[in-house]
């Protein structure tokens, strides 16, 4: 089995590592439009060779789109055009799924496309961030599964099985709403927190000297790459906007309770939020 | 050396463990106004005995106030009254320092009080959360050091040396501003994030099924205890309010850029926030 990976960054590169060493793929053909990243991916050994999109698709049984979601939206129809009438399967791994499914809708090769979201990652990016075992034990969502051929879905389930992922199914619109709440908003809150403290650092050079472990953990995601996150926030526009608005309301509730010296209100807000203990280890 | 610890929770209990096993203290006299916590602290071995505040102070060379800051503000003058004319030293470990220093100001035993903030912790609380090595390698701030007797400060530096902490010095008002930015705001953003998603869970029972590692890390602090955090936010009122307002402005900047489909603006906000890489490992 040859696997083509378009985009050899954190996700594509990490998939390539485990698919190869666990025997699912006997060859990885990479596509990388950044010359430096391409050279690094070859040197690290993420791919056996680099190719153009056309040559990669021609040589692969499964093609993985692992670029930022805006590029994947553009690439998907091109790649589907190349696989019409073949047994080849195309998947993407983006964290916005409705835009992907929409662009594939009605395509002659739609049944050869499986929309997937392996829910794993770190705040780092690029081929240097790729690592083995990244996906082990995590969830992978397959969206709008009825639009894909059962045979293609079975093969992709085997692929995610090789990555030790739990596969679940969801409509693409429901997926996008869910990830807005439990992934996308966390990135925006971290970006905003970083901006807040970096602003203060302009006057107070040593503001970070006291930074606690708690601060590091809440701000960690602010290291995430703009190339990946601008298109996510842009393409999951309505869901992200709705969550941000709810979130700003909650921040204002804290703000007003503090301004009013209303300790009972602050207590009830904190105690309500403590219910997260039920969910997060 | 006998050390009295008033409040045998995460911080007081963890100090007791290491001060005893590293030989700084040969006895820990605990004070705990919660019966269950007191019994647990004895059973776990955080303290050798429990006593009233009066008996604890009478039997101790150093008295550590390790209660929530509102209780510490009340206790400090009482405890200082009990140590007048002795060699005993009183410290507190609260994360708001100006209110503590103000209440001690002008007291006959002011020089026997050292205002300290060992910057370590977890999101858990109570005697069960106490752990060895909690303070190793972390920073401890001593505030308004010129108000304490040099001899008392030296002894307390020895205490924090036994806990493997780096001691630094700061004015209490500067301390409170700094921690608002690099600790207190992180808790508020986590509380608000928890409330946002818990709200959604009322309609969407499975909203947390997709929760990512990034979500867990940004929301972790929302498990923090209301008993500790209500008085911190209330007593660091002006600083916390100022940071929250800046933070809400940053969130609104993201919100508006997303609403306006202004990808260039989203990108510049994210790239600016990425500068946090310079600071956070």
pLDDT band at B281 (very low <50, low <70, confident <90, very high): confident
Please name the residues between 229 and 268 in chain A that touch chain B, using a CB distance below 8 Å: 229-231, 233-234, 237, 240-241, 243-248, 250-255, 258-259, 261, 263, 266-267
* H or E segment to which residue B46 belongs: none
A280, pLDDT greater than 90: no
| Residue A61 near residue A2, CB atoms below 8 Å | yes
Say which of A200, A216, A241 has its CB closest to residue B181: A200
Percentage above 90 pLDDT, chain B: 94
A113-118/A27-31 β-pairing: unpaired
pLDDT tens-digit profile of A199-239?
A: 999 888 888 888 878 899 999 999 999 999 999 999 999 99
Contact status of A205 with chain B (Cβ, < 8 Å) = no
Contact status of B270 with chain A (Cβ, < 8 Å) = yes
Say which of B186, B213, B229 has its CB closest to residue A218: B186
Note the pLDDT of residue B207: 86
Six-digit token pair at B276? 């946090």
For an interface test with B, the pick among A119, A210, A233 (most B C-beta atoms closer than 10 Å) comes out as A210
Q: Averaged over B123-146, what is the pLDDT?
A: 96
The single residue listed with the structure tokens 């808790």 is B187
pTM of the model: 0.93
The dihedral of CA A69, A73, A75, A76: what is its sign?
positive
A62-65/A49-50 β-pairing: unpaired
Contact status of A203 with chain B (Cβ, < 8 Å) = no
Question: Is the fold of A2-170 the same as that of A175-278?
Answer: no
Note the pLDDT of residue A210: 83
Mean residue pLDDT of chain A comes to 96
d(CA B23, CA B27): 9
Domain regions of chain B by residue span: 2-170, 175-278
d(CA B89, CA B112): 5
ipTM for the complex?
0.93
pLDDT tens-digit profile of A36-58?
A: 999 999 999 999 999 999 999 99
Contact status of B129 with chain A (Cβ, < 8 Å) = no
**Yes or no, beta carbons of B241 and A219 under 8 Å apart:** no
| Residue A142: strand pairing partners | A116, A169
pLDDT band at B280 (very low <50, low <70, confident <90, very high): confident
**Yes or no, beta carbons of A223 and B182 under 8 Å apart:** no
Helices and strands, counts by H and E, chain B = 12, 8
* Min distance A88 CA to chain B CA atoms (Å): 29
Tell me which chain A residues have a C-beta less than 8 angstroms from the C-beta of B269: 191, 195
A175-278 belongs to which CATH class? mainly alpha
**Yes or no, beta carbons of B220 and A280 under 8 Å apart:** yes
d(CA A206, CA A211): 10
Note the pLDDT of residue A208: 87
* Min distance B20 CA to chain A CA atoms (Å): 25
Contact status of B203 with chain A (Cβ, < 8 Å) = no
Six-digit token pair at B236? 């660091």
Please name the residues between 38 and 67 in chain A that touch chain B, using a CB distance below 8 Å: none
What DSSP string describes A17-75? HHHHHTTS-SEEEEE-SSHHHHHHHHHHTS-SEE--HHHHHHH-SEEEE-S-HHHHHHH
**What CATH number does the domain located at B2-170 have?**
3.40.50.720
Tell me which chain B residues have a C-beta less than 8 angstroms from the C-beta of A254: 188, 191-192, 233, 244
What DSSP string describes B108-139? TTGGGEEEEEE----S--SGGG--TTTTTT-E
Six-digit token pair at B133? 């090595």
C-alpha torsion angle, residues B32, B36, B41, B42 (rounded to 10): 100
């Amino acid at each position: 089995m040859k696997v083509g990976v378009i985009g050899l960054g954190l996700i594509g590169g990490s998939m390539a590592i485990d698919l190869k060493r666990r025997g699912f793929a006997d060859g990885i053909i990479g596509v990388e439009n950044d010359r430096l990243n391409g050279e690094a991916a070859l040197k690290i050994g993420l791919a056996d060779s680099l190719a153009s999109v056309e040559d990669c698709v021609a040589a692969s049984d499964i093609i993985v789109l692992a670029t930022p979601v805006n590029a994947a939206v553009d690439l998907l129809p091109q790649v589907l055009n190349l696989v019409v009438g073949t047994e080849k399967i195309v998947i993407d791994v983006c964290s916005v799924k409705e835009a992907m499914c929409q662009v594939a809708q009605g395509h002659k090769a739609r049944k050869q496309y499986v929309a997937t979201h392996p829910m794993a990652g770190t705040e780092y990016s690029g081929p240097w961030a790729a690592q083995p075992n990244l996906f082990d034990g995590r969830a992978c969502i397959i969206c709008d599964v009825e639009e894909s051929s059962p045979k293609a879905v079975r093969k992709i389930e085997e692929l995610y099985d090789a990555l030790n992922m739990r596969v679940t199914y969801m409509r693409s619109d429901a997926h996008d709403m869910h990830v807005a709440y439990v992934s996308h908003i966390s990135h925006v809150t971290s970006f905003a927190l970083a901006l807040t403290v970096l602003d203060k650092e302009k006057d107070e050079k040593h503001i970070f000297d006291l930074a606690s472990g708690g601060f590091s953990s809440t701000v960690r995601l602010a290291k995430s790459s703009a190339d990946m996150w601008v298109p996510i926030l842009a393409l999951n526009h309505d869901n992200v906007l709705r969550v941000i608005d709810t979130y700003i309301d909650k921040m204002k509730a804290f703000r007003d309770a503090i301004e009013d010296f209303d300790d009972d209100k602050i207590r009830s807000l904190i105690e309500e939020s403590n219910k997260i203990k039920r969910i997060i280890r």
